[in-house]
Amino acid sequence: MGSLPERESPATSAKVHRADRKAAGWQASRQTDKYHDREVLLKSNPAAHNLSVYDGRILVGRVVDLGPRLPCAAFDASDTLVGVFPSRNEAFQALPKSGGRS
């Protein structure tokens, strides 16, 4: 007889399926797109902080901190999304180290 496949515990299976449904719901409702535009992000979250990062007098990028227990979005100097990060520190570290300097 063939071996039976390993079964996941019901709790693990439920967590995985719930995460898949949540991600599918975000994708269907276009909530994943809300982080691509800095202005929309700031307008939709009144408690958000817009933090600019400079290297001397050169703008390196911006970090939008959405608040406690919410992600931070990092944007480069041309307002292109660099990424969404769980902490402000990780968002700052993702920005380029220099603002176009050689």
pLDDT in tens, 69-95: 888 999 999 999 998 899 999 999 999
Residue 4 counted as domain residue = no
Residue 70 counted as domain residue = yes
The residue assigned the tokens 């990424």 is 83
Instruction: Look up residue 48 and give its DSSP letter.
Output: -
Does residue 64 surpass a pLDDT of 70? yes
Give the integer Cα–Cα distance in Å for 65 and 50: 7
Give the model's pLDDT for residue 4.
58
Q: Is the pTM of this model over 0.85?
A: no
Based on its alpha-carbon atoms, the radius of gyration of the chain, rounded to whole angstroms, reads: 19
Three-class secondary structure of residue 75 per DSSP: strand
Residue 67 counted as domain residue = yes
Domain encompassing residue 90: 35-94
- Structurally, the chain folds into a number of domains equal to 1
Does residue 9 surpass a pLDDT of 60? no
Residue 26 counted as domain residue = no
